[in-house]
Amino acid sequence: MYQYTEVDQKLVDERVAQYRDQTRRYLAGELPDEEFRALRLMNGLYIQRQAPMLRVAVPYGLMSSTQMRKLAHIARTYDKGYGHFTTRTNIQYNWPKLEEVPDILAELAEVQMHAIQTSGNCIRNTTTDPYAGVIASELEDPRPWCEIIRQWSTLHPEFAYLPRKFKIAVTGGPEDRAASQVHDIGLHLVKNDAGQIGFEVLVGGGLGRTPIIGKQINPFLDPQDLLSYLEAIIRVYNLNGRRDNKYKARIKILVSAMGIDAFREQVEAEWAEIRESDLRLSQEEIDKVKAQFAPPAYDADAVNNTLDAHLAQNDEFRIWYERNTVEHKVPGYRIVVVSLKPYLKAPGDITDLQMEAVADLADRFSFGEIRATHHQNLVLADVKQGDLHEVWKILNANNLARPNIGTLTDMIVCPGFDFCSLANAKTLNIAEQINEKFEDVDYMHDIGEIRLNMSGCINACAHHHVGHIGILGVDKKGEDWYQFTLGGSSEAEASLGKVLGKSIAADEVANTIEKILLTYIDQRDSEAESFLEVVRRVGVEPFKEAVYAADH
């Protein structure tokens, strides 16, 4: 993984000192609240419903065990003993004291971490595939390109005050595990007819009040032109994006208003002016960054015959293996997904002790690295097959081995009204209701892959529009109600879910999901036909009829 240079460290240390002085002046009454607000947001600090919330950057989801232990220390020392992983692979602390945030930032700087650009109208954390570098189907590891983008975008002087926040995602192969098509810019590594690898570039995707799938602006971009092309896109957006209405300020609105062809023309004209500038990446620069992501020293003799015996003797371990591990490109290794969706716990939350347990596992079994996922879980990317049983036992002892990855209870859920000042409705109590209703592991495995995403407001932090089942919390005269959508997906064949009908009362959410699942079972051609395939084949009408039949 990338290691800070002296320049990187100096930049982060200076930002900590700067913010410490800004906080001091604010607490002393020397800095008005309206001025401090912009400064704290630049350092990832929000004021939420009950307390400040600090969002810490985890670039492209990659952490070392040392960094994870520091996150655990911060949770224990400055918060209430836990953190929350988000869909941008960052971690949030929900209870820091405003006056202690500079100390937290100083501690983060000790392990090459920060909270820069985790808020505000700037280029946010670039995300990617949590299986990058270890999945056989990818064309190339996308993480070096994420790092190149990180270095270019960090404190970019021209893009510090964009019309709205700006998000980029990069994928390395045909699968899309980064929801790239609902980002402001999506970058897909592709191979052209000549066998060269470059980027397909999508622009104008996004969710929130106006969900839109991104449109292709360039089918094949030479990797050396990556930064100049990104700069051209964001310049056009910065100049033309609306600043009079924050709900219409995202690039998706600009692209839709102009049309992709007209937008492309402006980008191409801007690009022509800067393409041969210092932004052009030399092969030497590219190779230098790629060297930071060289494969670890895999054991050529990692294949272990004890795995089959453990699988045969222990059904609990076998179920976990089938659901929570993924085939690795290197024989004898598996990718392990650590579930942060334990029964009746807030999805995405992790305690300080659990963080330390994961850090220990990473050191012992996965070359000291940990990854955060778009689905609010963690990944140990390089575990020997012979070590899987021991890893499972330790995860199980720490309530991190629920075998639910990709199932209904592997929910993406925002913190909702309990924490967020923007939320209209609660989400965590609804997640508990769903967990209680669908606790049966065998039933969930029989149902197969279902992505359930639930947001507490239209800002769609939990990406409900692209859930196979999407749930949006709404407020009706002070009461929480929930609107359902079906058929969304953030993967390669991305789609936006269709609204099922009128919103559902809070105490009927889990029962409504049961009706939807029973309709799926009734409608599927075979057990091999997935929920998403059924919805796309038959539409939402059979599900609507089942859910609202009593109203007819």
Tens-digit pLDDT profile for residues 452-488:
999 999 999 999 999 999 999 999 999 999 999 999 9
Burial of 354 (0-12, 13-18, 19+ CB in 10 A): buried
Please state the φ and ψ torsions of residue 47, each to the nearest 5 degrees. -110, 115
Using DSSP, state whether 461 is helix, strand or coil.
coil
Res. 50 pLDDT band, cuts 50 70 90? confident
The length of the chain, given as a count of residues: 552
pLDDT tens figures, 92-122: 999 999 999 999 999 999 999 999 999 999 9
**In sequence order, which residues have a C-beta less than 8 Å from that of residue 18 and are 6 or more positions away?**
none
The mean pLDDT of the chain is 96
Closest CA to 358 of 82, 85, 92, 68: 68
The mean per-residue pLDDT over the stretch 421-448 comes to 91
Contacts of 319 (CB under 8 A, 6+ apart): 403, 441, 445
Q: What residues have CB less than 8 Å from 138, skipping those under 6 apart?
A: 129, 131, 132, 172, 173, 189
Q: pLDDT tens across 299-312, in order?
A: 988 777 789 999 99
Question: 255-276 pLDDT, tens per residue?
Answer: 999 999 999 999 999 999 999 9
Does the pTM surpass 0.85? The reply is: yes
Which of helix, strand or coil describes residue 264? helix
Q: How far apart are CA 463 and CA 207, in angstroms?
A: 7
Parallel, antiparallel, or unpaired for β 333-338 and 378-384? antiparallel
Burial 35-48 (b: 16+ CB within 10 A, else e): ebeebbbbbbbbeb
Tell me: pLDDT of 294 over 50.
Answer: yes
Q: Could you tell me the CA-to-CA distances from 507 to 48, 430, 432, 472, 510 in Å, in that order?
A: 26, 8, 11, 14, 8
Strand partners, 454: 413, 471
Burial of 193 (0-12, 13-18, 19+ CB in 10 A): exposed
Instruction: Indicate if the pLDDT at residue 552 is higher than 60.
Output: no
- Residue 423 pLDDT: 86
Task: Give the model's confidence band at 3: pLDDT under 50 very low, under 70 low, under 90 confident, else very high.
Answer: very high
Q: What share of the chain is helix, strand, coil (3-state, %, to 5)?
A: 45, 20, 40
Single-letter amino acid, residue 411? M
Q: Which residues pair with 489 in a beta bridge?
A: 495
Query: Which residues, including other chains, have CB under 8 Å from residue 486's CB and lie 6 or more apart?
Result: 468, 469, 470, 497, 498, 500, 516, 535, 540, 543
Is residue 173 within 8 Å of 163, Cβ to Cβ?
no
What Å distances lie between residue 514 and 196, 402, 409, 465, CA to CA?
48, 21, 13, 20
Phi-psi region of 112 (alpha: psi -120 to 50; beta: other; left: phi over 0): left
Confidence of residue 422 (pLDDT cuts 50, 70, 90): confident
Q: Is residue 390 within 8 Å of residue 334, measured between CB atoms?
A: no
Percent of the chain residues past pLDDT 90, beyond the cut:
93
Q: Are the C-beta atoms of 380 and 391 separated by less than 8 Å?
A: yes
Is pLDDT of 347 > 90? yes
Closest CA to 385 of 360, 400, 365, 363: 365
Number of other residues whose CB lies within 10 A of the CB of residue 313? 10
Dihedral angle sign, alpha carbons of residues 22, 27, 31, 35: positive
Q: In what helix (H) or strand (E) does residue 388 lie, and over which residues does it extend?
A: helix 388-397
Which carries the bigger pLDDT value, residue 301 or residue 239? 239
Phi, psi of 118 (to 5 degrees): -95, 5
- Whether residue 551 is predicted with pLDDT greater than 70 in this model: the reply is no
Strands 452-455, 412-413: pairing is parallel
CA distance 473 to 230: 35
